[in-house]
Amino acid sequence: MITNLQTPIDYLKGVGPNRADLLRTELGIHTYQDLINLFPNRYIDRTQYYKINHLQRNNADVQVIGKITEFKEVAQQQGKRLVATFQDGTGSMELVWFRGQKWIRESIKLNTPYVIFGKTNWFNGKFSMPHPEMELLEDHEKNLRSAMQPVYPSTEKLSNKGITNRVISKIMQQLFLETNGRFKETLSENILSELKLINKSEALFNVHFPKNQELLARAQYRLKFEELFYIQLQLILKNLIHKSKIKGFPFEKVGTYFNAFFNNHLPFELTNAQKRVLKEIRHDLGSNAQMNRLLQGDVGSGKTIVALMSMLIALDNGFQACLMAPTEILSVQHYNGLVELCNKLNISIKLLTGSTKTSERKEIHHMLENGELDILIGTHALLENKVKFRNLGLAIIDEQHRFGVEQRSKLWHKSLPSGEVGGASFIPPHVLIMTATPIPRTLAMSVYGDLDISIIDELPPGRKSIKTVHRYDKNRLNVFKFIRDEIAKGRQIYIVYPLIQESETMDYKDLMDGYASIERDFPKPNYQISIVHGKMKPADKDYEMQRFIKGETNIMVATTVIEVGVNVPNASVMIIESAERFGLSQLHQLRGRVGRGAEQSYCILMTSHKLSNDSKTRLETMVRTSDGFEIAEVDLRLRGPGDIMGTQQSGVLNLKIADIIKDKDILQNARFYAKKVLNTDPSLSTSKNKVILNTYQELAKFKNIWNYIS
């Protein structure tokens, strides 16, 4: 008989109402199942006992056998600490408590052998151990213990209330007693045997009470695989359902526009990566399902041309297309670029932004509705209700991280009502999302599982790599001299200041101070300076930007508003002030503003002297590499997946045992097997997959599975 694991935790012997409450509030443990899935953070080898005179000044955890000979209280700045003298015949050390002193004094016996365990400190010529774990030697010898001791996640409140790691271990033992350690298998025979995985019961036993290192490793592998397998299964199922349910316009042909452009007007040969991605997009557009594709490509990898050629396919099939960018500057740039590329093609293209005049706006609305307009480019002004297309076939979003899911879905309903709107025949436009912020492949697989992903992993030929250096503020004079030399050669310079919301006033002051000092060092009329920041009116911003683009100014002082997409090939130096305050992906984006012309480009990261370890890693990474994917991996390691767009909702954070960063090989394997299973049996209806179907449904029922929001 297998115990029902949905039994409330209160029923477990040794738990009781108080502990049950604490387990619920502190660790989210409501049921037996939850407790079993409380996996240790790490393991400690407790096979060794140390003598006090052999203790080393490292901070490893050690266990020592000895006796407490006396307690004393020592006053300190706030409150007091309890100090015990602990002796083992070879020497003496101190045990120290800052909290829970009353309980310690009442429950610990003097002059009685204990096994203590913890980290030691070396202070005033003596070893001390704060808040040791303590167990009577007598009990210690009675307890069956394994070589590897698990360390469970805990909270301060739990340990203050006496629910120590040892107590959790005890409760876990009790659970295994009550259930006989027999648990329902949750993976199919096929997978178990193909991957030579150990069975569920054995895995759970060895993850909580490992017999040895090898079994622990096998137990962990099996449980991580299982966790990732079911997440992937869910994602792939969702994607399959999306494809079967959501019809798309079948763009059957590649016609005159595309061919004319490809054969006669392509300004350069496409890179292999661009060709591959175009093929993937064409395949999607030609199928009967709606395209929902993410196009990742580093800054400068040439996403725009791919966007244009995709739009031409829409036009060839009698549809309209739109391209939405996050800022006015970027939209204008896209507009100008595309108008130039298409000038021989007889296509009508318009720009719609917040600053489009009313009369122009009206005309655009009109042309969109009667189908005279082929391509509309703009900011989120495109999303306004008044903007209605006659037949929008493809919507492209540039720099996706600036837009939310909601905006994505607004684009779905941009075409004019025709026939049964909202009815079964509703067909949304194809959607292509372009981003220059690479998401590490492993993460993308889990987070954007409902999107298909294309990657441009190759830069157009002939790009010079950007020389990146880190300089401290005190070297500013040298940096300014360098700027002067570059300007003398005819180059232009960006100087960027951080603008971080919380301290906006201060940042703004930094920017203005910086501007003033740059004006002093680079005086008119020899030097001209542009300034652009978020508090300026769009028209003023644009004016300043245009002056820089036209080469009328030598230096552009700016906040991160220039981060995205701006293209000034003659600008060859990017100076980033207070670089330690920027995130890695932002630094990488900023650096991407230079290196667009034929000249050698430079990125100079200016910082103060005091740097945190994370800041140092960020700067070193920037200096070492310009590979966006490598940078994204480091970023992910530094910040954890929580801060990366899209992961908040995705629940990648709620993984119980697997680690999205460290376990990417297992993730890949899990995805491979999830696909394999669904390829042959998409409804999981064969008997050999019954166990998978059952587990999947149960996970969904008890909400243990990742709650993916689309």
Binding positions for ligand ADP, rule: CB under 6 A = 268, 270-271, 274, 297, 299-305, 436, 460, 567
Distance CA 696, CA 233 (A): 9
Residue 123: contacted member of Mg ion, ligand ADP, none (CB under 5 to 8 Å, by partner type): none
Between the alpha carbon of residue 405 and those of residues 221, 303, 397, 410, 704, the distances in Å are 34, 21, 11, 9, 24
Name residue 699's amino acid.
L
Phi-psi map region of 402: left, alpha, beta (phi>0 left; psi -120 to 50 alpha): alpha
The distance of closest approach from Cβ of residue 607 to ligand ADP in the complex, given in angstroms and rounded to an integer, is 26
The distance of closest approach from Cβ of residue 299 to Mg ion in the complex, given in angstroms and rounded to an integer, is 7
Q: What is the DSSP string of 346-411?
A: ---EEEE-TT--HHHHHHHHHHHHHT---EEEESGGGGSTT--BSSEEEEEEESGGGS-HHHHHHG
The distance of closest approach from Cβ of residue 492 to ligand ADP in the complex, given in angstroms and rounded to an integer, is 16
- Which residues neighbour 484 within 8 Å (Cβ) at sequence distance 6 or greater? 522
With respect to Mg ion, which residue has the nearer C-beta, 334 or 618? 334
* Residue indicated by tokens 């622990």: 216
Name residue 706's amino acid.
W
In the bound complex, which residue of the shown chain has the CB atom lying closest to ligand ADP? 302
559, exposed or middle or buried, with CB in 10 Å at 0-12, 13-18, 19+?
Answer: buried
318 HSE (CA, 13 A, CB side): 3
Residue 553: contacted member of Mg ion, ligand ADP, none (CB under 5 to 8 Å, by partner type): none
The DSSP output letter for 197 is P
Between the alpha carbon of residue 677 and those of residues 194, 232, 383, the distances in Å are 13, 11, 40
Applying CB under 5 A, what is the total number of residues that bind Mg ion?
1
Residue 578: contacted member of ligand ADP, Mg ion, none (CB under 5 to 8 Å, by partner type): none
The distance of closest approach from Cβ of residue 495 to Mg ion in the complex, given in angstroms and rounded to an integer, is 22
The distance of closest approach from Cβ of residue 274 to ligand ADP in the complex, given in angstroms and rounded to an integer, is 6
The distance of closest approach from Cβ of residue 255 to ligand ADP in the complex, given in angstroms and rounded to an integer, is 23
The tokens describing 323, both together, are 């391209």
For the segment 522-541, give every residue that binds Mg ion (CB under 5 A): none
Task: Identify each DSSP E strand in 440-502 by its residue range.
Answer: 452-456, 467-472, 492-496
Task: Identify each DSSP E strand in 124-210 by its residue range.
Answer: 126-130, 133-136, 148-151
382 HSE (CA, 13 A, CB side): 33
With respect to ligand ADP, which residue has the nearer C-beta, 35 or 466? 466
Distance CA 108, CA 84 (A): 10
Residue 101: contacted member of ligand ADP, Mg ion, none (CB under 5 to 8 Å, by partner type): none
The tokens describing 40, both together, are 């240790």
Residue 646: contacted member of Mg ion, ligand ADP, none (CB under 5 to 8 Å, by partner type): none
With respect to ligand ADP, which residue has the nearer C-beta, 298 or 486? 298
Distance CA 240, CA 228 (A): 18
With respect to ligand ADP, which residue has the nearer C-beta, 340 or 406? 340
Residue 661: contacted member of ligand ADP, Mg ion, none (CB under 5 to 8 Å, by partner type): none
The distance of closest approach from Cβ of residue 377 to ligand ADP in the complex, given in angstroms and rounded to an integer, is 14
With respect to ligand ADP, which residue has the nearer C-beta, 440 or 592? 592
The distance of closest approach from Cβ of residue 297 to ligand ADP in the complex, given in angstroms and rounded to an integer, is 5
With respect to Mg ion, which residue has the nearer C-beta, 411 or 564? 564
The distance of closest approach from Cβ of residue 408 to ligand ADP in the complex, given in angstroms and rounded to an integer, is 19
The DSSP output letter for 265 is I
Distance CA 393, CA 315 (A): 8
CB 575 within 8 A of CB 483: yes
The distance of closest approach from Cβ of residue 160 to ligand ADP in the complex, given in angstroms and rounded to an integer, is 53
Whole-number CA gyration radius for the chain: 32
For the segment 556-575, give every residue that binds Mg ion (CB under 5 A): 565
The distance of closest approach from Cβ of residue 266 to ligand ADP in the complex, given in angstroms and rounded to an integer, is 9
With respect to ligand ADP, which residue has the nearer C-beta, 217 or 266? 266
In the bound complex, which residue of the shown chain has the CB atom lying closest to Mg ion? 565
Residue 317: contacted member of ligand ADP, Mg ion, none (CB under 5 to 8 Å, by partner type): none
Distance CA 352, CA 298 (A): 26
Residue 498: contacted member of Mg ion, ligand ADP, none (CB under 5 to 8 Å, by partner type): none
Distance CA 212, CA 206 (A): 8
- Angle ∠(36,38,44) on CA atoms, nearest 5: 110
The distance of closest approach from Cβ of residue 382 to ligand ADP in the complex, given in angstroms and rounded to an integer, is 18
With respect to ligand ADP, which residue has the nearer C-beta, 596 or 671? 596
CB 644 within 8 A of CB 615: no
With respect to ligand ADP, which residue has the nearer C-beta, 268 or 543? 268
- Angle ∠(591,596,602) on CA atoms, nearest 5: 45
With respect to ligand ADP, which residue has the nearer C-beta, 301 or 607? 301
The distance of closest approach from Cβ of residue 393 to Mg ion in the complex, given in angstroms and rounded to an integer, is 22
With respect to ligand ADP, which residue has the nearer C-beta, 303 or 588? 303
Residue 327: contacted member of Mg ion, ligand ADP, none (CB under 5 to 8 Å, by partner type): none
628 binds Mg ion (CB under 5 A): no
The distance of closest approach from Cβ of residue 76 to ligand ADP in the complex, given in angstroms and rounded to an integer, is 58
539, exposed or middle or buried, with CB in 10 Å at 0-12, 13-18, 19+?
Answer: exposed
With respect to ligand ADP, which residue has the nearer C-beta, 444 or 699? 444
Residue 621: contacted member of Mg ion, ligand ADP, none (CB under 5 to 8 Å, by partner type): none
Please provide residue 588's backbone torsions phi and psi, each rounded to the nearest 5 degrees: -65, -40
Count the Cβ atoms, other than its own, within 10 Å of residue 701: 10
The distance of closest approach from Cβ of residue 307 to Mg ion in the complex, given in angstroms and rounded to an integer, is 8
Residue 353: contacted member of Mg ion, ligand ADP, none (CB under 5 to 8 Å, by partner type): none
For the segment 348-407, give every residue that binds Mg ion (CB under 5 A): none
With respect to ligand ADP, which residue has the nearer C-beta, 298 or 510? 298
With respect to Mg ion, which residue has the nearer C-beta, 498 or 565? 565
Could you tell me the strand order of the sheet in which 492-496 lies?
467-472, 602-607, 571-576, 492-496, 555-558, 529-532
Residue 641: contacted member of ligand ADP, Mg ion, none (CB under 5 to 8 Å, by partner type): none
Residue 305: contacted member of ligand ADP, Mg ion, none (CB under 5 to 8 Å, by partner type): ligand ADP
The distance of closest approach from Cβ of residue 402 to ligand ADP in the complex, given in angstroms and rounded to an integer, is 14
With respect to ligand ADP, which residue has the nearer C-beta, 248 or 302? 302
With respect to ligand ADP, which residue has the nearer C-beta, 248 or 438? 438
Question: How far is it between the farthest Cα atoms of the chain?
Answer: 96
Distance CA 29, CA 37 (A): 9
- Angle ∠(461,550,364) on CA atoms, nearest 5: 90
User: Among 322, 3, 52, which residue's Cα sits nearest to residue 176?
Assistant: 3
Residue 268: contacted member of Mg ion, ligand ADP, none (CB under 5 to 8 Å, by partner type): ligand ADP
Binding residues for Mg ion, per CB under 5 A? 565
